[in-house]
Structure formats: structure tokens, C-alpha cells
């Protein structure tokens, strides 16, 4: 039986306000909503819950506002057994919010008010040093300040803890952060932002991955949506792992499910990377068949069920 992983997530916590509509409105057009829901979200929270539901011990480092959304999100995380001791309440800034425009096609567009997520302080990371140093892996994304990620990854690297960087939303990344990253997991858009290579075929996938390695990253997994994923390891192992073909109802949280499940299942030496990516792909395929981010993330039992 695989050892239960100890995962630290340094990340964002948002309340998702889901607006259901037939299609995106044209400029100047007024449309009626087909429905409205509020659910838990934020890339960090989604990834933490995905890892927890895949049998990991998860600790969270982040911030919420002193408001109803913050209380709701802390309760949601605790419900999945996530340690929230290092989620601090910010009296001056609201809990992050994401407004998700969900179309009939299952595609979504998202508007984010970052709130307390971007006010994570250096002392927040320092206070969590002991958690980071005893973890198996730390996961971070770009809905929190990059400087805080660098600080946390330095602690992890010094302690021999694996680092996973989900470079989303897409932005330029300092080389010093890439050099502290054991595994980076960009999608096609993020990969192009990082490498200036348009990723649309196997050759461009390999070229983008090799460029990321040249910048200091040890291992690369490109997430390719309905096409699955491609990985390249520091030992030059590579493989395209196909996605599971399903009818997508809502793609919100699919990428985060992949990252969280990957963190839960990937061995520190990456010797099971093919199996871990396969598992994460299957989990993502289950996520897109339900509405919302956190409500749609599957459990390990659901993923492994035949």
C-alpha cells in the first residue's frame, strides 16, 4: 500500500459565484442568467481538497477575510480533514471571490477578485516552516504572491521536500523560482507564456518542456485539456498520456483536480509518474461531469472504481 503523503498547499481560497448562461454576452448585450450558485473554490483550495480526497494528509497556508465567505471556506476545508491552523484571517481584506461565467457548452470564463490571497505575508510562510520541512511535497500556484512561493520553496529545497509549481494564472516566472521547482505543470497557454513556444503538437510539447528544463526546472508535465497530458522527466523519460473521453458539463476545477491528485500519488523520485498522471487524468475526467469546483472533485474510491 502506498504511504499516505504529507502535502502542504500554499495557495488561494475563493468563494466561487457561478453564473449559468447559454453563451457569453456580446458587447452591449443584456442577457438573463439561467441560474446562480455559490460554491467553494480558489486554485489552492481546490488542489488541497483534491489531494485530501485522494488520501493525503494536507496542511494549508493562506489567508481569508473576516467575513462569511472566509468562514464558509474554512469549514469546507476542515470537512475534508485539511489542517487550517495556518490559514490566517485578514481583518483588512475580503475573502477572494471568483465569478464564473458557465456556458451551456461546459466552457467557462472566470473573473477573480483576489482579496486576502494577495496579502499573504512573509511571516505567514515563516510561521509554517515546520510544516513545510516535514512535508513530502509542497504545492503552489500564482493566485498568491510569487515572493511568498519563492520563500516557501527555498525552505522546502533546503529540507529535501519536493516542490510542485502550478504556473496559473499565466504570467512570467522569475528564473530563481524555476530553479527551486522540481515539477512544473503548465497548460498550453501557460507553457507558451513561459517559453514563447506555441504548444500545439508533440514536437512543440517536447521543445517547450526542454526549454523549461533549461531554465532550471527538473521535471515538466504539460496539461493538455481534452488531449490529456505530456511529461518529460530529468532522466529524459517522456510520454503522452491520453485523457479519458467524457461529456464535459463544467470544466471548472479540472486542472486543479489534476494537480492535487498528482501531488497525492506521485512518488518523490518520480518513478511512478506514468501511473500518477493516469490517475490524475481520470480524476479530472470525473470533475468535468459535475457543476462547480470543490463539489465535483472525486474521492480516491470514485477514481479507482472500475
Q: Nearest to residue 183, comparing CAs of 215, 157, 221?
A: 221
Residues 90-144: tens digit of each pLDDT? 999 999 998 989 898 878 888 889 999 999 999 999 999 999 999 999 999 999 9
Q: Nearest to residue 44, comparing CAs of 294, 298, 274, 267?
A: 294
Q: Could you give the C-alpha distances from 88 to 80, 97, 113, 131, 147, in angstroms and in order?
A: 18, 17, 18, 15, 18
Please give the average per-residue pLDDT across 263-277, as a whole number. 93
Is residue 57 part of an annotated ligand binding site? no
Fill in the DSSP letter of residue 78: H
Is residue 147 part of an annotated ligand binding site? no
Asked whether residue 162 carries a pLDDT value surpassing 90, the answer given is yes
Q: Which residue has the cell 494577495?
A: 118
- Looking only at the bridges linking them, the beta strands covering 162-166 and 183-184 are parallel
Q: Does residue 239 contact residue 245 with C-beta atoms inside 8 Å?
A: no
Is residue 143 part of an annotated ligand binding site? yes
* Three cell numbers written together for 179: 530553479
Confidence label for 243 from pLDDT (cuts 50, 70 and 90):
confident
Q: Does residue 177 contact residue 149 with C-beta atoms inside 8 Å?
A: yes
Domains of the chain listed by start with CATH number = 6-24+34-304 (3.40.1190.20)
Residues 50-91: tens digit of each pLDDT? 999 999 999 999 999 999 999 999 999 999 999 999 999 999
Is residue 229 part of an annotated ligand binding site? no
Residues 3-26: tens digit of each pLDDT? 789 999 999 999 988 899 999 999
Is residue 75 part of an annotated ligand binding site? no
Q: Does residue 162 contact residue 184 with C-beta atoms inside 8 Å?
A: no
**CB neighbours (10 Å) of residue 103?**
16
* Three cell numbers written together for 31: 442577457
Is residue 224 part of an annotated ligand binding site? yes
Q: Does residue 115 contact residue 94 with C-beta atoms inside 8 Å?
A: yes
d(CA 64, CA 83): 15
- The catalytic residue among 90, 124, 182, 256 is 256
State the DSSP string of 143-185.
TS-HHHHHHHHHHHHHTT-EEEEE--S-----HHHHTT-SEE-
Q: What pLDDT is recorded for position 70?
A: 97
Is residue 6 part of an annotated ligand binding site? no
Q: What pLDDT is recorded for position 233?
A: 95
- How big is the chain, counted in residues? 306
In degrees, rounded to 5, the angle at the alpha carbon of residue 148 between the alpha carbons of residues 155 and 265 is 60
- Looking only at the bridges linking them, the beta strands covering 219-223 and 183-184 are parallel
Is residue 166 part of an annotated ligand binding site? no
H or E segment and range at residue 274 = helix 273-287
Q: Does residue 39 contact residue 295 with C-beta atoms inside 8 Å?
A: yes
Residues 107-120: tens digit of each pLDDT? 888 888 999 999 99
**CB neighbours (10 Å) of residue 267?**
15
Residue 67 catalytic?
no
Is residue 51 part of an annotated ligand binding site? no
* Helix (H/G/I), strand (E/B), else coil: 188: helix
Amino acid at each position: 500500500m502506498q504511504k499516505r503523503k504529507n502535502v502542504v498547499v500554499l495557495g488561494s481560497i475563493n468563494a466561487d459565484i457561478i453564473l449559468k448562461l447559454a453563451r457569453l454576452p456580446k458587447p452591449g448585450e443584456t442577457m438573463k442568467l439561467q441560474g446562480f450558485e455559490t460554491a467553494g473554490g480558489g486554485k489552492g483550495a481546490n488542489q488541497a481538497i483534491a489531494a485530501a480526497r485522494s488520501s493525503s494528509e494536507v496542511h494549508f497556508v493562506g489567508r481569508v477575510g473576516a467575513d462569511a465567505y472566509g468562514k464558509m471556506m474554512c469549514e469546507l476545508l476542515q470537512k475534508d480533514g485539511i489542517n487550517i491552523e495556518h490559514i490566517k484571517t485578514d481583518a483588512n481584506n475580503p475573502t477572494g471571490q471568483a465569478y464564473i461565467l458557465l456556458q451551456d457548452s461546459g466552457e467557462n470564463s472566470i473573473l477573480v477578485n483576489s482579496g486576502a490571497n494577495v496579502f499573504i505575508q512573509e511571516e505567514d510562510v515563516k510561521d509554517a516552516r515546520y510544516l513545510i520541512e516535514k512535508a513530502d511535497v509542497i504545492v503552489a500556484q500564482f493566485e498568491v504572491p510569487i515572493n511568498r512561493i519563492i520563500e516557501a520553496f527555498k525552505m522546502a529545497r533546503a529540507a529535501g521536500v519536493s516542490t510542485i509549481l502550478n504556473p496559473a494564472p499565466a504570467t512570467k516566472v522569475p528564473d530563481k523560482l524555476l530553479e527551486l521547482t522540481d515539477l512544473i505543470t503548465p497548460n498550453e497557454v501557460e507553457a507558451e507564456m513561459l517559453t514563447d513556444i506555441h504548444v500545439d503538437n508533440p514536437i512543440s510539447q517536447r521543445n517547450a518542456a526542454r526549454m523549461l528544463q533549461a531554465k532550471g526546472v527538473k521535471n515538466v508535465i504539460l496539461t493538455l485539456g481534452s488531449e490529456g497530458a505530456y511529461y518529460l522527466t530529468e532522466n529524459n523519460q517522456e510520454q503522452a498520456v491520453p485523457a479519458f473521453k467524457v461529456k464535459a458539463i463544467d470544466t471548472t476545477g479540472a486542472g486543479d483536480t489534476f494537480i492535487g491528485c498528482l501531488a497525492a500519488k506521485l512518488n518523490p523520485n518520480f518513478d511512478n509518474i506514468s501511473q500518477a498522471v493516469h490517475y490524475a487524468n481520470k480524476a479530472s475526467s470525473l470533475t468535468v461531469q459535475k457543476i462547480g469546483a470543490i463539489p465535483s472533485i472525486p474521492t480516491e474510491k470514485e477514481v479507482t472504481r472500475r
